[in-house]
Amino acid sequence: MRSAHGVTLIELLTALALLAILAAAAAPGFRHMARRAAVLSATHEIMSALHSTRAAAITRGQPGIVCVTGTTGTCLNVIDRPGDGYLAWLDTGADRGRLDPRDTVLFRSRLPGRISLRGSRTSVTFWPVSRAGTTNTLSICDRDAIAAPSQVIVSQSGRPRLATAPARACE
């Protein structure tokens, strides 16, 4: 008599059914984790762009501007709608506060899908002479409301910091 060294079809189907049940139970947790990672990644990316723009404005002696952009990649004029990305540049002053061909673009970025950016103002300006900036609160939001929002707050001195965002920040 030979002994069998494998699994039966019933054992294989039972194992696959248990695996499918575990995967179905874990899927919502993975989705939440992925959305939270997208919000955190966008938050740190924006924070880095603000720090770099502030540093460039101080070292080069030109105002640095970071604005919230829409789907076309241009700066928003009003704050009543969320943006899809941001644009940062050093302003030569030829067209004060608006991007023109003589300005130096530092960053141009779109946020990951279904992540949006809202600001208490449409832009932040870093002034090199006084080491100051316009105040702004930037909220990074998950449009599907799966992950909690986060915020970057720019103080009068131009220093950005992270903050916990209230749920209403994305409304």
Ranges 44-48, 65-69, 97-101, 145-149: which has the least confidence? 97-101
Number of domains in the chain: 1
Number of other residues whose CB lies within 10 A of the CB of residue 146: 16
Domain-embedded: residue 107: yes
Counting every residue, how long is the chain?
A: 171
Domain-embedded: residue 78: yes
Domain-embedded: residue 164: yes
Average pLDDT, the chain: 89
- CATH code, domain carrying 91: 3.55.40.10
Which among 110, 140, 137 is positioned nearest to 122, based on CA atoms? 137
pLDDT band at 94 (very low <50, low <70, confident <90, very high): low
pLDDT band at 71 (very low <50, low <70, confident <90, very high): confident
- Alpha carbon dihedral 36, 42, 48, 49, in 10-degree steps, equals -170
Q: What is the mean pLDDT of residues 35-61?
A: 94
More confident residue, 158 or 79: 158
Q: What is the mean pLDDT of residues 111-128?
A: 91
pLDDT band at 4 (very low <50, low <70, confident <90, very high): low
Q: What is the mean pLDDT of residues 116-125?
A: 93
pLDDT value at 167 more than 90: no
| 120: helix, strand or coil | coil
Q: What is the mean pLDDT of residues 54-59?
A: 93
Give the domain range for residue 78.
29-170
